[in-house]
Structure 1
């Protein structure tokens, strides 16, 4: 798998803590190889948000023009390659093709070609403050946690790129009453309680009913009709699928400022595990894989420890084993989902190889999961 192309990612976060773009890191040995892989993924390309495309350590060359870039794609040009003859040849051609450009690793002494309209400028915030009059919207990179993000915004950055929001969130509390209500619903659905009993709980919070139906109707089930009520949902989807969407409801119940980004990431993890796991598990287990990935960030979303949150629910043992101990049959798939959230393609390749999953399958499931999570519009 040494010559395989793998794609990892990091999100782009705006001042409101929402993911407004996705940054795809293409790990390839040549630009031509990257182009071939990107072209093969056209049918699962995420379209809800802009997508930054980084060629990582490769010098961007005119070979990139062989890729028919989607309308929301933005190509990154690293400052280390800005003076390379082939990159200088590529830039005006990308502009002529209507492809937006981002400048990465900008420094105060960076000399950029004239007449280039940079959309975003990624800056290593660990090394420097936001520059005066950057050539595009300034994004901080390398932030360690949520407090550092707040400071970066105060310091003049327009947003940030990275996974800082996974750190600096308190997780030492108890479940809030609103969270406990959803957990109660989850437990009722899992034990196949009478529809009337579940409806009585939902009637106590009309907002929960509305959100649940909104997610179900927006989630690409391919239903021939719109779900109008919980009773209708039971008749069309069954209890297992409803448990999955109540899990989404629990994830979306957080009011933490970082919640929208956490929610999108949790759902992307769950969807990826569900997609990849289809070749390994019976169909009935795929919802459990989704819940495992989605609940892997439950402690961050709810502000309670993962143990205390799971103690309130009656989840199957493989889910708890993966979440609490990092073992069991679901654990390798959760590790694989987490490996997409880094620059370490070697670790991703090793985990995929252990499961005998091809890079092509990894990349397709990754982008499909990202499209799915983006479509739910959290926050």
Structure 2
């Protein structure tokens, strides 16, 4: 008998789940098809040291495509308070599955049904919530009220659709809505956009701090976020910071540039909600930097990788073509190539961050495990950024 084929280390797409305030509350794990059993592959990822500490306080929604094979012993190392087991609606009609899942629920594990189960099947499985693709149609009202929730609406392409689903009874949301901001949530009027571009230009050429301060004083919201950041628990200072000059001394020039680049995404939207692009920009920036370091690039190249990642969503933030944004900034040629057409070494790395590809990773000499560890570090940082800004 030949030896069984060993599945490669799984690639996983982590998708953020937000509440109605655009705050991250959970992460869904969607592993690559070549990883074999999705639940076993996810367990491989969750064996990473300190993984739940890195993703705290996010809840983790794990795929369980074959709940009839699930055993409680497989869950022994998972913190029940942070885990939701995602089971397909079609499996809920099986009586054996109902008994198994009800037993797991009694042991403290939570069940979220992917789709709408027939009749009372979800209730018989002791499911607490539903996860439904509500991009185009909404499930029957009775399907939502039968479980306490929180119910997750996926496929959200706009904040308007989120509002509609919230009225229908959903309180968690996932989708690409952050990439399609409404008119009131973009960079504002022409004057505001020009000020932001001017600030970005100063940051790109490492301008004198006094020049930065002049522009910051014209943008009270950005100044507020900067001072809020340096006075947050993340820096644990013994005395409060009241001025921009003090903030520079605390952060240092390099960190100041990085935080200001991210703080551009923290500007409040017209509706007062957090900008959903902020943590996504943080993920890209951090992951680019970690992968660049893993490639053996020097500190300057790592900084360029960070910039390419954080700036890659500016066209969404400012509602402007990337060509116009790049033309207004003094960026390194490698960063420009990456932002405009994903070419050059930075462009290749940015493409991998935007869309995982096993063959491309192998060609770049990046192991799947290293890619996962970069993801984990990036999401950890993005979670902390969102909580401190």
TM-score bracket relative to the smaller structure? 0.7 to 0.9
Task: Out of 277-286 and 231-240, give the one that drifted further.
Answer: 231-240
Q: What are the Cα deviations for residues 84-131 of structure 1, in whole angstroms up to 9, with x where unaligned?
A: 67754652453344233211122454623537151x311132574232
- What is the correspondence of 1:252-267 to structure 2 with a 5 Å cutoff? 252-253=266-267, 255=269, 260-267=275-282
CA RMSD of aligned residues (A): 3.5
- Distance in 2 between the 1:319 and 1:373 partners? 22
Partner of 1:348: 357
Residue pair 2:186, 2:317 contacting (<8 A) in 1 also: no
Q: What are the Cα deviations for residues 38-74 of structure 1, in whole angstroms up to 9, with x where unaligned?
A: 1225345311332222246786611532432363222
- What is the correspondence of 1:14-33 to structure 2 with a 5 Å cutoff? 14-27=19-32, 28-30=35-37, 31-33=39-41
- Distance in 2 between the 1:46 and 1:25 partners? 16
Label 1:312 to 1:129 Cα distance change in 2 as closer, same or farther (>3 A).
same
Partner of 1:201: 215
- Distance in 2 between the 1:217 and 1:260 partners? 21
- Distance in 2 between the 1:219 and 1:332 partners? 36
- Distance in 2 between the 1:113 and 1:154 partners? 23
Residue pair 1:190, 1:239 contacting (<8 A) in 2 also: no
- Distance in 1 between the 2:254 and 2:108 partners? 46
- Secondary structure at the counterpart of residue 25 of structure 2: strand
Task: Out of 230-239 and 322-331, give the one that drifted further.
Answer: 230-239
- Distance in 1 between the 2:40 and 2:253 partners? 47
More helix by share: 2
Partner of 1:249: 263
- Distance in 1 between the 2:315 and 2:69 partners? 40
Label 1:351 to 1:227 Cα distance change in 2 as closer, same or farther (>3 A).
farther
- Distance in 1 between the 2:118 and 2:151 partners? 13
Q: Specify which of 115, 136, 141 is matched with residue 132 of structure 1.
A: 141
- Secondary structure at the counterpart of residue 344 of structure 2: coil
Label 1:173 to 1:249 Cα distance change in 2 as closer, same or farther (>3 A).
closer
Label 1:363 to 1:164 Cα distance change in 2 as closer, same or farther (>3 A).
same
Residue pair 2:290, 2:374 contacting (<8 A) in 1 also: yes
Partner of 2:112: 102
Gaps of 5+ in 1: 340-346
Matched, 1:7 2:20: no
Partner of 1:377: 386
Q: Specify which of 342, 347, 360 is matched with residue 331 of structure 1.
A: 347
- TM-superposed CA distance for 1:322, in Å, is 1.0
Matched, 1:270 2:280: no
Partner of 2:77: 67
**Count of residue correspondences:** 371
Label 1:121 to 1:198 Cα distance change in 2 as closer, same or farther (>3 A).
same
TM-score (norm 1): 0.82
Partner of 2:173: 160
Label 1:262 to 1:196 Cα distance change in 2 as closer, same or farther (>3 A).
closer
Gaps of 5+ in 2: 1-5
Residue pair 1:130, 1:156 contacting (<8 A) in 2 also: no
Higher RCO (C-alpha 8 Å, min separation 6): 1
TM-score (norm 2): 0.80
Label 1:89 to 1:74 Cα distance change in 2 as closer, same or farther (>3 A).
same
Residue pair 1:121, 1:138 contacting (<8 A) in 2 also: yes
